[in-house]
């Protein structure tokens, strides 16, 4: 992506630590609440799912749409955020 949001840049600029799921780019309060209800309360828990799905964009985006009702743009933003974080820290 040629331009990223401040939220995206902030997330990928440092280790994940204990950030809430809403720290992920593309995940706001509404989607965050839906994810929290399913046990995905922290960004690192979503990262775990991302890794289980082998960092595959189609699998992760489909999972996120099913899990919380994210639209294609939101799911892609979240995928891009996690992928860039993994490229920097893993």
Reading the chain (90 residues) residue by residue, the pLDDT tens digits are 457 899 999 999 999 999 999 999 999 999 999 999 999 999 999 999 999 999 999 999 999 999 999 999 999 999 999 999 999 999
Residue 1 confidence (pLDDT): 43
Residue 38 confidence (pLDDT): 96
Q: Which of 2.40.50.140, 1.10.150.40, 3.30.1360.40, 3.10.290.10 is the CATH number of 6-89?
A: 1.10.150.40
Neighbours of 63 (CB within 10 A): 19
Long-range contacts (CB closer than 8 Å, 24 or more residues apart) made by 17-24: 18/42, 18/44, 19/43, 19/44, 21/45, 21/46, 24/78, 24/81, 24/82
| Domain parsing of the chain, residue ranges | 6-89
Reported as half-sphere exposure (CB side, CA atoms, 13 A), residue 71 has a value of 3
| Strand (E) or helix (H) holding 42 | none
Residue 67 confidence (pLDDT): 97
């Amino acid at each position: 992506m040629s331009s990223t949001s401040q939220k995206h840049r902030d997330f990928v600029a440092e280790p994940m630590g204990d950030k809430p799921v809403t720290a992920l780019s593309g995940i706001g309060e509404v989607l965050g609440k839906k994810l929290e209800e399913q046990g995905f309360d922290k960004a690192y828990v979503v990262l775990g799912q991302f890794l289980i799905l082998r960092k595959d964009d189609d699998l992760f985006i489909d999972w996120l749409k099913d899990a919380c009702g994210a639209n294609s743009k939101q799911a892609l933003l979240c995928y891009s955020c996690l992928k860039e974080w993994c490229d920097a820290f893993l």
